[in-house]
Amino acid sequence: EAGVAQSPRYKIIEKRQSVAFWCNPISGHATLYWYQQILGQGPKLLIQFQNNGVVDDSQLPKDRFSAERLKGVDSTLKIQPAKLEDSAVYLCASSLVVAVNTEAFFGQGTRLTVV
Amino acid sequence: AQSVTQLDSQVPVFEEAPVELRCNYSSSVSVYLFWYVQYPNQGLQLLLKYLSGSTLVKGINGFEAEFNKSQTSVHLRKPSVHISDTAEYFCAVLVDTGFQKLVFGTGTRLLVSP
């Protein structure tokens, strides 16, 4: 079974530029998550989708971050414009459903460096 | 608010020694707790989860965790570590506020040396 795919693996941009990350979840997984992991911290949930609808985006900085999952499958996370403090690893995860006994599977992440 | 605290940012240990990684949580409702491992340049992998029932939970790779409700802790243990266990370990609690999401601790880096 293929895992969660993310691209690119690494990205370096200058501040005020824009960047986009792509995630393809495991086939059949209805729930998709985007996490931000800043160096030395645990992952923080940015946004959660159930199929193509947003369940939780309370910690997404909506003035600069946006995410979509138009067909309920793959998803794109965008930052525009980027700030230095956006430097982090962006992790995508997916699960069959949202339930306590359902495991979330994580991709390898995209490491973003803003200079 | 529900949260987790990992007390040690880094734990150095020699190969074949036992190890304990500490995690305390705060919660006023039902508790669902998880331990994840992150190897260098990899995503997170589920080690084990505590949902209910026995307070001793066995996970993958020889790890286990003991849930202690009175101390609000779920410490991760392994009786004998390997070099390959060197990784970052995250404790997480499932928060349910109408929808469910994982809240992670800051992580503990386990460094196993020969």
Chain A hits for B104, Cβ within 8 Å: 42-44
Evaluate if residue B110 carries a pLDDT over 80: yes
Evaluate if residue B52 carries a pLDDT over 90: no
Q: How far apart are CA A83 and CA A74, in angstroms?
A: 25
Neighbours of B1 (CB within 10 A): 8
Evaluate if residue B82 carries a pLDDT over 90: yes
Q: How far apart are CA B30 and CA A8, in angstroms?
A: 38
Top residue of A38, A100, A102, A103 to mutate, by most chain B CBs within 10 Å, is: A100
pLDDT in the model for residue A18: 97
Evaluate if residue B16 carries a pLDDT over 80: yes
Evaluate if residue A22 carries a pLDDT over 90: yes
Which of A43, A93, A100 is opposite residue B100, by nearest beta carbon?
Answer: A100
pLDDT in the model for residue B2: 61
